[in-house]
Amino acid sequence: MTPNPAHAPNLADLIHDEANRFTAEHPRALALSRQAAAVWRGGTPMHWMGDWASPCPVFAAQGVGAQITDIDGKLYDDFCLADTPAMFGHGQEAVARAIADQALRGTGFMLPTASAVIVGRLLAERFGLPLWQAATTASDANRAAIRWARAVTQRPVLLVFDGCYHGMVDDAFVVLKDGQPVMKPGLLGQVHDLTATTRVIPFNDPEALAAALAPGDVAAVLAEPVMTNCGMILPLPEFLETLRDLTRQAGTLLILDETHTISTGPGGYARAHGLAPDMLVIGKAIAGGVPAAVWGVTAALSERMDAAAARVGPGQSGIGTTLSGNALALAAMRAMLAEVMTEAAYAKMLAGAARLVEGLRAVIAARGLPWSVVHVGARVELVFAASPPKNAAVMREALDAELLHALHLWLINRGVLIAPFHNMMLVSPMTEDAAVDRLVAAVDGFGGALERLAA
Ligand SMILES: Cc1ncc(COP(=O)(O)O)c(C=O)c1O
């Protein structure tokens, strides 16, 4: 039987040695992190920035293409890419020019600009939904979509899949624990029982889906077409088609959150696979890292939204934020959609991802590791399970925290950054084949280290 490296006796020693190496090689980051800890709670402006496996965060100096230089002068191949906003590469010239040009003419006016018309057309053409709204983050866009779904259907319940993440969206912070819906562990300051109005079921389970929709009280299903935030869980054949059919039959709206699965291709997963969501949400990369998100709706839903608003009458909808749709965000989106998120860019990133998948699978096979690799277009996930889990309950067993920590720290010390959460790796159009090969070689080296520990 293949030894399971998750239980290798001296993984803690490896982590210890690698942490020492990081500390020795990052004197400036350590000094800065001490200073930052005096002024930022937890030591970073946003607490996720402290979630890396290294003893202190790498402090970024600049990003060029798919590489980052840090303040200690070290160069990294970046497969995290800001956890998606930079998935087309850092320092995109077209976006930089658009941002600079717009900033000099005013960043926002609470008025539309001519770019808004162009962006709306580009979104409609690309994603196949005719009508759009802007938000500042994907979290905001999801919240807006949920509110509208409830308003339109006059139903209270949101349905999500166990293991989902859709941003800072209160309604989605529920999970299954021993098959029972509960609020997510660690959730802070939530005074409402979210399980009262959010139903949660396992992904890839048509029977559970049918049962959850049966009472007729579900306003919307909010889903990623491929789950990317609990490791990566691919849909089983026909599951998404069943999801579409059953939601339609139940009068439930289907909101697809393509914030991550935009890695599939130019029109996202839904376009590539002929799904027809009622609403579609995209954030993060859509404005090249300038905070912005968009959500689109069908013409039929738009009419129902008008009817819902008329039914409710004048007052405050409670949907919208001041900076949403500002001129700067629209200028950046226009540059992204017209000049950066091109067919050619996707061809390059998909080829790079295929190289990465092949390379990682070869390492796994050669070393007999009980791991697997899945991907959705340019987004690749290394899974610590021999066959990729089909739902979050199984995936959670594979998410070995110590092994993740060891791998991530090992990679950082070898000049490779992957997203600090599970083993998510993004390939951009600027990622060179040599960088992919360096990542594969680093994972191979890690596999070798595990073998030595187990020997
Ligand atoms: C699928 C998905 N939707 C929405 C979000 C929220 O994005 P943001 O944090 O930019 O609001 C995330 C963040 O990781 C995400 O993965």
Q: What is the mean pLDDT of the chain?
A: 97
Ligand 1 close to Cβ of residue 258 (< 6 A)? no
Per-residue pLDDT at 147 = 98
Per-residue pLDDT at 69 = 98
- Residue 184 Cα to chain centre, angstroms: 18
- Residue 412 Cα to chain centre, angstroms: 21
Per-residue pLDDT at 9 = 59
From ligand 1's centre to the CA of 138, what distance in Å? 5
Beta-carbon count within 10 A of 433 CB: 12
Residue 151 amino acid letter = A
- Using one digit for the tens of pLDDT, what is the confidence trace for 56-69? 999 999 999 999 99
Residue whose CA is at the smallest distance from ligand 1 atom 5: 167
pTM of this prediction? 0.96
- Residue 435 Cα to chain centre, angstroms: 22
Return d(Cα 122, Cα 130) in angstroms, integer: 10
Q: How far is CA 46 from CA 36, 41, 147, 230, 401, in A?
A: 12, 9, 27, 21, 22
Among 314, 378, 368, 440, residue whose Cα is nearest residue 86: 378
- Using one digit for the tens of pLDDT, what is the confidence trace for 286-324? 999 999 999 999 999 999 999 999 999 999 999 999 999
Residue whose CA is at the smallest distance from ligand 1 atom 9: 167
Residue whose CA is at the smallest distance from ligand 1 atom 4: 166
Evaluate whether 367 touches 444 at the Cβ level (below 8 Å): yes
β-strand partners of 340: none
Ligand 1 close to Cβ of residue 260 (< 6 A)? yes
Q: Is 390 left (phi over 0), alpha (psi -120 to 50) or beta?
A: alpha
Per-residue pLDDT at 152 = 98
From ligand 1's centre to the CA of 76, what distance in Å? 24
Residue whose CA is at the smallest distance from ligand 1 atom 3: 166
Residues in the chain, pLDDT under 70: 1-9
Continuous segment of H or E residues that includes residue 426:
strand 424-426
Per-residue pLDDT at 455 = 87
Among 410, 371, 398, 384, residue whose Cα is nearest residue 15: 410
Return d(Cα 269, Cα 209) in angstroms, integer: 21
Evaluate whether 69 touches 62 at the Cβ level (below 8 Å): yes
From ligand 1's centre to the CA of 259, what distance in Å? 6
Ligand 1 close to Cβ of residue 283 (< 6 A)? yes
